[in-house]
Structure 1
Amino acid sequence: MSYLSLPSSSSFRRTWKYEVFLSFRGEDTRNSFTGHLYAALQRKGIYTYKDDKRLQRGERIGPELLKAIEQSQISIVVLSKNYADSTWCLDELAKICEGIAQPGYTVLPIFYHVDPSDVRKQRGDFKHAFDKHEQNSSNKVPRWKLALKQVADLAGYDVRNKSESDTIDEIVKDVTHRLKHRFSSLADDLVGMKSRAEAFEKLLNLDSWDDVQFVGILGMPGVGKTTLAAVVYDRISHYFDACCLLLDVSKVYKGPGLAGLQEQLLSETVGNDQKVWEEHTGTNLISNRFRQAKTLVVVDNVDHADQLEKLVGKPEWFGAGSRIIITTRHKRILKMHGVSRDKVYKVELLNDEEALQLFCVKAFKSDVPDDGFEELTHSFLQYAKALPLAIKVLGSSLLMRKKSEWEALLDRLKEIPNQEVMGVLETSLFSLDQRDKDIFVDIACFFKGEDEEYARKILDHCGFNPEVGISILRER
């Protein structure tokens, strides 16, 4: 299917604010086709401009609307029986078809119960409309006719004798596919993320849609599990019928509980508007509502098996082709939920080159250190130990500071660790029971670099039962 790609112009620099602009005749389709299309785009998270306010006949469209057209990456024109009656719609269409764009702008016509050839040749209702406009001696008529012909010459969607709901589904899939470059480019802005995202996507087996797959992202706090999941979610969400990103589940679980997340999952995917007051009801609804839908769900920062059981339960809850992505620092939780070892991606720390690049981006807004800051940069990277969170926090705190301030902050860190970083890292320690905390502290303080069997004997002699404790620490 071909679309109108407006010519680029060196005199314009287009900035996308909206992903889709909807042009339509309100009296014809506001409460029917266009209303349903807008709702479907919104459910997919596509930022859509839909202007329901129309000026009286003869009034000019305002600067806000003109700007919205200029800032929209895709313009969808719903050509209905009375579209050409409206001078407002025709002015809107002429603006859409101007050569103001840069590459990537798309115009997509929808022929809503009208013959595309009637639109192209201005016959029937369209001829009657232009006859009236010419009687009013409007000097815009030639421009309007040209714009209408331009749009009608495009391959679009003919709604005649077709299911409107099926057509809307096709349009939404088409639009999300055309916007996928936005998703794939997100990883390019995050140091080290593109290669990790591509490696993780291989585990998702996106070439096969016959079964439901649960896939894990494993790693220590601050290593970038959530970021990786969000990047992949944006890159692949256009493949699915329904999508939901459930962030920081463990925090919600310890607070108000999972009912709110269950309600979010139902609302963002199948459009369920039922209030979920308690978790048992939410679990029952989820287990029944997704069976026919190819669904993508990210369950982020899971630290208890109960969270998965109540949110994404079993594979048979979801339609063929569904993918459930779980991020956690607990390897055992993934095992308990049946995620096989070959479906777990472990997020490693940054390599030296990535760590330097990330730090420089945050501290200098550059890929290399400023002159005279090379040695201090190395010292801060030694402290951060290639942990992305630590590098981001430290780099951001040093931006636009003098060399003396860098030196003072480095001295302070030797005595008092950065609380933002430590707060995240401590979550792993505080989630252990007391005996496992004691084993962790003893290993960190007394057995670093020692033979494991030697450490086990000492810990066992002290009554710590290290067989279980060390296994738990290793899983986290």
Structure 2
Amino acid sequence: MEDINRRHKEYMERRAKQDNEIMRYEAKAIKDIVDKVHDRLYPLILDVDEDLVGMTPRIQVLKSLLEIGSGAVRMVGIWGVGGGGKTTLATSVCMEISPHFDGYYVVDNIREEVSRYGLKKLQEKLLYTVLKTKVKVQSVAQGKHMIKSILCHRNVLILLDDVDGLDQLQALAGSFKWFGDGSRVIITTRDEHLLRTHRVNHVSHVTLLSVEESIQLFYTHAYNETEPLADYEELSLRVVSYAAGLPLALKVLGSFLFDKDGNEWRSALAKLQDIPDVKIMNILKISYDGLEDYQKRLFLHIACFFRWESIDNVMGMLEASGSHPVIGIRVLRQKALISIADGRFDMHDLVQEMGHFIVREEHPNNLEKHSRFRKYKDFCNMCFGGASLLKKNDKVEAMQNGCCSHYQSSCFSKIISCKKKLRSASMSKYDNTNMISKYDNTNMSNDDDTSMSKYDNTNMSKYDNTNMSKYDDTSMSVLYMSQFDNIREIIKPKF
């Protein structure tokens, strides 16, 4: 009898152990099913209507580039100016097409995350979203191997958001071979060059909103139905014009103005002419912060002085000022900071305002320490500020003086002689014709006020209006100088 009882007890213990294992297996299976169902239903239950204003046609274009269901692995990159809607577009598409994949994984804020925690943490983040359990990565190389070995047989959709370094792409999606057949990888970045270098299948430039789309998006954020604004239509169009199709600006300004009355709207719009919104500027400035020093100088030159100028007319001066414009312009274009239209420099209105903002913020309360002068009133303040101000201001790298009088021309010469770091300056005199003289100075430190006397108005008579009559308003008289005693005149005639 004791032997029977012992065997029965052992049998019950084995049965209980088996039942526990079955229950754990079933619980895990149920959890996996729930997770899969949640992943497939999530795009259907999430309300993204507000963010999709103006995005519908862009979503269709991106979906067509992804070629869902065509097999093989495809990587598609979206690039463009900060605040242009890249993340909203990519996220919206991913949520819509995710039911076609075994898994949908997002690694967002990559630029910021890498700067804080490094690449290994990002790899761990991606592996966690796949395995639903924490994984410790000892090295970037190990992380690459783990991602490849886990995902190479899975049909997955991956979004890599806000990439700003090639090493980030190599660590998270190093090769098409890392992913199973049919997988799709969407990458958002401000830098077209990264996408080209990583050899993605297609590079797509995000298009900004049209006027109609901008009005609609701004309305969703700014219109107060409970307290409607009497002049809403007129004032809202001014904001839409200022934002120039940039979704970020429309959302930020719309949210700010939502509970303001008419007078406050007008005050806010007037303030924007002198003081731009800091939130918008900081987002746009991220692209500028990632530039090398010579690229920053080049961008500020173009933003402050040369937007809408013919590239041919200013390329020589940019080259002489040490800005390395050939390669620099290429980099600025690939980072969506400038564009070229009909042979002229161009950029988004708010990107240009960001350039002006950077110069002003160098020393907001000390005009004499600004690196560039582009406003006539600033030049006048310097002219009438006395010798002490002229001597103090040794930070200027470039300046432009429009419509100068005889006194201001003399003052302009004195200002130039005081500027040790001055590399370019322009002086415009407008009568019947338009004459622009541009100077490049790479070594001004040994020149004093008296050394400029030979370049005063009387000695510049050969460049006066009568002798410039054969050149129209678009003509440019350019003076390049490495030393003040060695001047070469380059004049482009009218064709």
Task: Give TM-score scaled by structure 1 length.
Answer: 0.62
Where 2:157 maps in the other structure, the secondary structure is: strand
**Are 2:76 and 1:215 equivalent residues in the alignment?**
yes
What percent of counterpart residues are identical? 36
Q: Which residue of 2 aligns with 1:18?
A: none
One-letter amino acid of the structure 2 residue matched with residue 409 of structure 1? A
Distance 1:414 1:188 in 2: 28
Task: Give yes or no for contact 1:270–1:290 (8 Å, CA) kept in 2.
Answer: no
User: Which one of the candidate residues 297, 302, 305 is aligned to 1:438?
Assistant: 297
Q: Which residue of 2 aligns with 1:305?
A: 166
1:31 aligned to which of 20, 24, 39: 24
Higher relative contact order (CA 8 A, sep 6+): 1
State how far apart, in whole Å, the 2-side matches of 1:458 and 1:296 are: 49
Aligned to 2:177: 316
User: Does the 8 Å contact 1:242/1:268 carry over to 2?
Assistant: no
Change (3 A) 1:454 1:244: same
- Secondary structure at 2:117's aligned position in 1? coil
Q: CA deviation at 1:375?
A: 1.7
Pick the aligned partner of 2:223 from 335, 341, 364: 364
- Secondary structure at 2:48 match in 1: helix
Distance, in Å, in 2 between the alignment partners of 1:349 and 1:303 is 21
CA distance in 2, matches of 1:204, 1:400: 41
Task: Let me know the Cα RMSD of the aligned residues.
Answer: 2.4
Task: Give the greater-gyration-radius structure (CA).
Answer: 2
* Cα deviation, residue 27, structure 1: 9.9
Answer yes or no: is 1:202 the counterpart of 2:195: no
Secondary structure at the aligned position of 1:298 is classed as strand
Alpha-carbon distance in 2 for matches of 1:438, 1:427: 16
- Within 5 Å, give how 1:130-209 maps onto structure 2: 176=40, 181-182=44-45, 186=48, 190-209=52-71
Q: Equivalent residue for 2:263?
A: 404
Counterpart residue identity of residue 211, structure 2: D
Q: Deviations over 1:224-278 (max 9, x none)?
A: 1111111111111111112211111111111111222211211212445422243
Q: Distance between the aligned counterparts of 1:180 and 1:394, measured in 2?
A: 29
Cα deviation 1:135-184 (Å, max 9, x = unaligned) = xxxxxxxxxxxxxxxxxxxxxxxxxxxxxxxxxxxxx8xxx2x665446x
Correspondences of 1:61-460 after superposition (within 5 Å): 176=40, 181-182=44-45, 186=48, 190-209=52-71, 211-271=72-132, 273-340=134-201, 343-364=202-223, 370-460=229-319
- For the 8 Å contact 1:188–1:194, the answer to whether it is kept is no
What is the total number of aligned residue pairs between the two structures? 316
1:404 aligned partner, one-letter code: N
**What is residue 462 of structure 1 aligned with on the other side?**
321
Give the AA of the match of 1:395: G
CA contact (8 A) 2:230 2:262 kept: no
Any idea what SS the aligned residue of 1:186 has? coil
Any gaps of 5 or more consecutive residues in structure 2? 1-18, 336-495
User: How far apart are residue 28 of structure 1 and its match?
Assistant: 12
Runs of at least 5 residues in structure 1 that lack an aligned partner in the other structure: 1-25, 47-171
* Residues 1:448 and 1:273: Cα distance change in structure 2 (over 3 Å): closer
- Asked whether the 8 Å contact 1:219–1:328 carries over to 2, the reply is yes
TM-score by length of 2: 0.60
Query: Partners in 1 of 2:224 and 2:234 — Cα distance?
Result: 18
Q: Deviations over 1:189-244 (max 9, x none)?
A: 521112211110100001302x1111111111000111111111111111111221
Distance, in Å, in 1 between the alignment partners of 2:122 and 2:236 is 41
Deviation at 1:370, TM superposition (A): 4.2
The Cα shift of 1:187 comes to 5.2
Hey, what's the Cα distance between the residues in 1 that align with 2:275 and 2:43?
45
- Structure 1 Cα separation of the partners of residues 260 and 37 of structure 2: 39
Determine if contact 2:69/2:182 at 8 Å carries over to the other structure: no
